[in-house]
Structure 1
Amino acid sequence: MKITAIHLYAIHLPLHEPFVISYHTYTFMPSIIVKIETDEGITGYGEAVADEHVTGETWEGTYQTIKNTLAPAVLGHNPLEIERLHELMKKTIYTAPTAKAAIDIACFDIIGKKIQQPVYQLLGGRYHEQFPITHVLSIADPEVMANEAAAHVAKGYQSFKMKVGTNAKQDVKRIQAVRARVGEDIAIRVDVNQGWKNSATTLVALNQLQNCNLDWIEQPVMADDIDGMVEIKSKSLIPLMIDEGLKGTREMIEIIQKRAADKVNIKLMKCGGIYPALKLAHQAELAGLDCQIGSMVESSIGSAAGYHVAFSKKNITTVELTGPLKFSKDIGNLAFEVPYIRLSDNPGLGVEINEETLRELTIYQDIVR
């Protein structure tokens, strides 16, 4: 089998409402959809959602990287040879994990369709039957966040991820307000997205949150401050998750050696796709670390790819891939059974693409042959 053509679509995914995190407010999500065609008539879809604050890649730059660098490099190669393709991409361009993830995901979609099996069967088989969906609360006033949480508890949600990181004192009030509203039995995870900057600010905030019964605090300090994570972990009883500080295998080695986190957040857009994500999960398993598959707020394509990884690994114990639930219009049909997600046994990613919606949301497009 050979790759014969690669279609690129730069799209804007419309949100039901703005998504606010510590470093940006999104009124829509910019995404790049890749469609890979083969000489056997099998087509696979991949996705790249870039975040310049995390990997240094922009939406526009990622599009050009795929179009002018990666697509020409993989054209004519066998999409079934994932290890070889990743080595080829590595030699072609340094890092660029989000761009590589789009190629990787599309190739796994092709492999699954080729052998008529869902992607999770290629990764070790299904381990988990279902995952509870965690609702993400974007940054707002304490009362607004508490009201939103209460409304979702009424819908059956049992866990929340709170986005904070604009101001530590205000963030403490936000977290306390949500806990007071939803009671003690609902899981609350707090994602600071580097917003508290350093360990000193973080430790002051965590000291005020000891009674909030938090599942964990995620990435309170700057991404490269692994030593700051070590200090926080050694001085706080609240479990600590690393996200932006973990991109690939090198960072994972340092995190394990320094015991810098209790849990790691693996994102396909940070590490380069399904295949590199599996490697990170295996590293974490050897160190006894639980993992989460995180989200860059992808469409059904990227979200499904993450779920296939999550469903196949014992030590991936939580997921937060809720992008499709945030969109007023999506290009795929990944099915959520709120408050749970259960994957089908359809081949490949198991997602059908609405070509009409894809065209409607496309800002510009290209074909590489």
Structure 2
Amino acid sequence: MKITEIEIFAIELPLIEPFIISYDTYPSMPSIIVKMTTDEGIVGFGESVPDEHVTGETWESTYAVLKNQLAPLMIGQDPMAFEKIHALMDKAVYQVPAAKAAIDIACFDIAGKKLDVPVYQLIGGRYHEKFPITHVLSIGTPEKMANEAEERVRQGYRSFKMKVGTEVMKDVERIQAVRERVGFDIAIRVDVNQGWENSSTTLRGLRALRDVDLDWLEQPVVADDIDAMVEIKSKTDIPLMIDEGLHGVKEMREIIAKRAADKVNIKLMKCGGIYPAMKLATMAEMAGIECQIGSMVESSVGSAAGFHVAFSKKIMTSVELTGPLKFSKDVGNLKYDVPFICLNERPGLGIDVDEAVLQELCHYSHVVK
């Protein structure tokens, strides 16, 4: 089986509400969808959601890299030769993990359809039967965030990921307001997205949050400052998660060697797709570090890929792939049963892509043969 054609679609996914985090506000979500076709007529879909603040890739640069470098390189290749596919991409272009993720995911979708099995069956089989979905609270006033949390609890959610990362004591007010509103039976995870910058600011915030009972604190300091995470970890009993500070094997080695985190947030867009994510999960498992599959707010395509990884590994203890729930229109049909997601047993990613919607949301496209 050989890859014969790749179509690249630059789209914008409309959000129900703007997504606000410490470093940016997104009124809509730019994405690149890849449609890969083989000589046997099997079609697979992949997705790239780049973030210039995290992976150093923009929507425009990702489209260009896929169009000019990665997609032409894939023509004639076996989509099931995952190790070779990644070796070819890595030799051709340094880094650009979100771009490579689109190719990787499409290859896995094809492989599953070829063998008539779900993707999770290709990477270890199904371990988890279902995962609870964590609702993500965008940055807002304490009152607004507390009101939203209260409403989501009524809908059945039992955990929240709070986006913070502004002035530390204002963030403390936000976190305290949500805790007071939802009570102590609801799990609260706090994601600072690097916004507190250093260990001293973070420790100040943690002192003020001593009685709030956080599940964990995620990436409070700048991404490259692994040593700051080590210091914070030595001075608090709140579990620490690394997100932007983990991309690939290089960072995972340092995190393990320095015991810099209790948990890591693996994202397919940061590491290059399903195949590299499985390698990171295995490294973390060997070191006794729990894993989460996180989101760059992907459509049903990228979100489904992340769920297949999460469902296949025992070390995966949480997921935050809620992109499709945030869109007013999506290209796929990933099904959520709030507050859980239960993957189906269909081949490949297990989703259908509505190509009429894909065309509707598309700004420009290109075909590589």
Q: Which amino acid is 1:182 matched to?
A: V
Residue equivalent to 2:249? 249
Counterpart residue identity of residue 108, structure 1: F
Q: Residue 45 of structure 1 corresponds to which residue in structure 2? A: 45
CA distance in 2 between counterparts of 1:166 and 1:231 reads: 21
Please say if 1:199 is aligned against 2:164: no
The AA in structure 2 aligned to 1:364 is: Y
How far off is 1:8 after superposition?
0.3
Q: Which whole-Å CA distance do the structure 1 matches of 2:278 and 2:20 have between them?
A: 30
Structure 1 residue 81, shift from structure 2 partner: 0.4
Aligned partners of 2:56 and 2:80: how far apart in 1?
29
Cα deviation for residue 167 of structure 1 reads 1.2
Query: Which consecutive unaligned segments of at least 5 residues does structure 2 have?
Result: none
CA RMSD of aligned residues (A): 0.4
Matched, 1:18 2:18: yes
Question: Counterpart of 1:128?
Answer: 128
> In structure 2, how many angstroms separate the alpha carbons of the residues matched to 1:111 and 1:237?
43
Counterpart CA distance in 1 for 2:153 and 2:15 is 21
| Structure 2 residue aligned with 1:315 | 315
- Cα distance in 2 between the residues matched to 1:39 and 1:64: 25
Instruction: Tell me the SS of whatever aligns to 2:51.
Output: coil
- Whether 2:229 is the aligned partner of 1:229: answer yes
Q: What is the percentage of aligned positions where both structures have the same residue? A: 69
Q: What SS does structure 1 have at the residue aligned with 2:251?
A: helix
3-state SS of paired residue (2:292): strand
Q: Offset at 1:284?
A: 0.2
Q: Is 1:353 aligned with 2:353? A: yes
Q: What one-letter code is carried by the residue in structure 1 that aligns with 2:285? A: E
1:236 positional shift: 1.1
- Unpaired runs of 5+ residues, structure 1, are none
1:265 aligned partner: 265
Runs (4 or more) in structure 1 with deviation over 6 Å come to none
Q: What is the CA distance between 1:166 and its match in structure 2?
A: 1.3
Structure 1 residue 315 displacement after superposition: 0.3
CA distance in 1, matches of 2:47, 2:284: 25
**TM-score, length-normalised on structure 1?**
1.00
Q: Distance in 2 between matches of 1:258 and 1:133?
A: 31
Q: Please give the per-residue CA displacement for 1:337-368, whole angstroms capped at 9, x wherever unaligned.
A: 01100000000000100111000000000001
Which one-letter code corresponds to 2:360 in the other structure?
E
With the length of structure 2 as denominator, give the TM-score of the two structures. 1.00
2:91 aligned with 1:91, yes or no? Answer: yes
The letter of the residue matching 1:131 is F
How far apart are the structure 1 equivalents of 2:292 and 2:58? 24
Question: Matched residues in 1 for 2:284 and 2:180: separation?
Answer: 34
Partner deviation per Cα, 1:214-270 (whole Å, 9 max, x = no partner): 000000000000000000000111110000000001100000000000000000000
Secondary structure of the 2:211 match is helix
Distance in 2 separating the partners of 1:111 and 1:305: 13
Asked if residue 337 in structure 1 is aligned to residue 337 in structure 2, the reply is yes
Q: CA deviation at 1:19?
A: 0.6
One-letter amino acid of the structure 2 residue matched with residue 343 of structure 1: L
Quick one: distance in 2 between partners of 1:233 and 1:315?
Answer: 21
Measure, in 2, the Cα distance between the counterparts of 1:152 and 1:71.
Answer: 41
Aligned residues: 369
In the TM superposition, 1:183-198 aligns within 5 A as 183-198=183-198
Shift of 1:74: 1.2
- Paired residue secondary structure (1:353): coil
Q: Quick one: distance in 2 between partners of 1:237 and 1:347?
A: 43
